[in-house]
Amino acid sequence: METIIISVFVIGYLGIALEHPLKINKAATALLTGVVLWTLGVLLQNESDAHHFVAHLGHHLEEIAQILFFLLGAMTIVEVVDAHKGFDLITNQITTKSVAKLFWIVGFVTFFLSSVLDNLTTTIVMVYLLRKLVKDEELRWVFVSFVIIAANAGGAWSPIGDVTTTMLWIGGQISAANIVKTLIVPSLVCMIVPAMIFSFQNSKKKLSYQTISNEQQKKNEKVHGSTLMFFLGVGGLIFVPIFKTVTHLPPFMGMMISLAIVWVISEIIHRNKDDHEKHKFSAVHALQKIDAPSILFFLGILLAVAALQVLGILSHLASWLDTTIGNKDIIALFIGVLSAIIDNVPQVAAAIGMYPLATATINAEAFQFAMANSALIHEGSFFFQGKEYFLHDAKLWEAIAYTAGTGGSILIIGSAAGVAAMGLEGISFGWFLKKISWIAAAGFIAGYVVYLMIYPILAVH
């Protein structure tokens, strides 16, 4: 049975990885894989076990739905802000002609913007900016490549900046305050090392700005309420982890409140306009523009991974990794390097399934054992009845958040930000591999080394 299930998953995974040559949207492949795995799983059970197997689907669907509604709300808020040209508030402030200085400006703007938006949206915003600032195509490719690195680094340390960190946060593996505390410095190093290399390589170059046409200037005119909507949107996203901390309600509830407020204010701002003019600034229009296939992709891949978890395949994989590699730091590093080739969302979902979380609600007996035997806890993990359990904010979860979030920068196809940049700018896989990959890898490794060095100082366990 395991051979059949794993074969279906591998074929589905290859279909996702080969999306462009196959010309089949990865969302369709992911959905098909997820549904087929659950169908095979239930058909391969006996009658009594089948009912129990189906009951697991409801439990996992509840967890998956929280992630999907969270992403839906975040993407809609970003689209509303973008419709009001709120991001121009940032892009219009950059006027330097020094290439070396621009690398640092772009790096820090991208890094912190990505921590409150997502790396995909941030990359799109920064590509738009760089098209206005950098005329030379190959130099712009270098800048855009750096944006990929900085956006992925910026998203890794924030609970709302990268979907993989968000998954760990919503799943209870990490807390918002602790992940910021432990990963902001390693993530900064991951961005700063490439910034140093790029600025040194281009230290003597100067920019010559492109001339903006009258038509383009008209398009760039400020929209009524743009400043308000920018601060309201960004403030709403920042409010989400605060809301969760205060109320203990799931993060998607905070995101829905933020979306509702942004929606209401946008309606009030444009209430005197005719329906046609008002529509393009509304959340209704934003909902029509969001990347719905990405939402369905997450649904499909998370369903697929959940099926592997329920069938016990992920626990077998964890045992194999522990036997073969053993060291959790190396396993986390392996996940990061692999995320340059394979999408990091299913990898993190698989890791969550492989390594059981011990909490008062998820595994009461193991959790009580841990609380009574705190001396046996090492780096947030402990053994109970021959099985290793991981506590909230364990070292493994933090390491995976960093490596899965930043490892995708090593190849241009390794992250949503990279794929978007590839499509927008036409950057080739070979060019990126030759010019950028080693620099991205240097930042990735440097940041991870810094994390391992500072963990003993910042550890909460």
Task: Output the average pLDDT for the chain.
Answer: 83
Q: Are 144 and 127 in contact (CB under 8 A)?
A: yes
Q: What is the pLDDT of residue 209?
A: 53
d(CA 422, CA 416): 10
- What SS3 class is residue 382? strand
Tell me the mean pLDDT in the region 275-296: 82
Q: What is the pLDDT of residue 385?
A: 76
| pLDDT 10s digits, 186-236 | 999 999 999 999 999 888 787 765 444 444 544 556 677 888 988 998 888
Nearest CA-CA partner of 348 in 295, 292, 403, 414:
403
11, pLDDT greater than 80: yes
346, pLDDT greater than 90: no
Q: What is the pLDDT of residue 218?
A: 47
Q: Name the percent of the chain lying above pLDDT 90.
A: 21
Q: What is the pLDDT of residue 451?
A: 95
Tell me the mean pLDDT in the region 302-306: 83
Tell me the mean pLDDT in the region 3-16: 85
Distance of CA 211 to the CA centre of its chain: 35
Where is mean pLDDT largest: 115-124, 133-142, 155-164, 447-456? 447-456
Q: Spell 185-201 as b/e; 16+ CB within 10 A means b.
A: bbbbbbbbbbbbbbbee
| pLDDT 10s digits, 125-147 | 788 778 777 888 889 999 999 99
258, pLDDT greater than 80: yes
Q: Name the percent of the chain lying above pLDDT 70.
A: 93
Domain positions in the chain are 2-357+392-458
Q: What is the pLDDT of residue 448?
A: 96
Q: Of 179 and 278, which is predicted with more confidence? A: 179
pTM exceeding 0.85: no
Angle, alpha carbons 215-133-441 (nearest 5°): 135
**Tokens of residue 240, six digits:** 């989400």
| pLDDT 10s digits, 392-429 | 888 889 999 999 889 989 988 777 788 778 767 878 77
Q: What is the pLDDT of residue 392?
A: 81
**Residue type at position 356:** P
d(CA 53, CA 363): 19
The residue behind tokens 């490892």 is: 407
17, pLDDT greater than 80: no
Angle, alpha carbons 415-416-422 (nearest 5°): 90
Q: How far is CA 355 from CA 165, 233, 339, 387, in A?
A: 16, 35, 18, 10
User: What residues contact 134, with CB distance under 8 A and at least 6 apart?
Assistant: 102, 140, 143, 207
Q: Of 301 and 329, which is predicted with more confidence? A: 329
Q: How far is CA 77 from CA 167, 282, 284, 286, 290, in A?
A: 19, 10, 11, 8, 10
183, pLDDT greater than 50: yes
Tell me the mean pLDDT in the region 294-305: 82
Helix or strand (DSSP H, E) at 197: helix 176-201
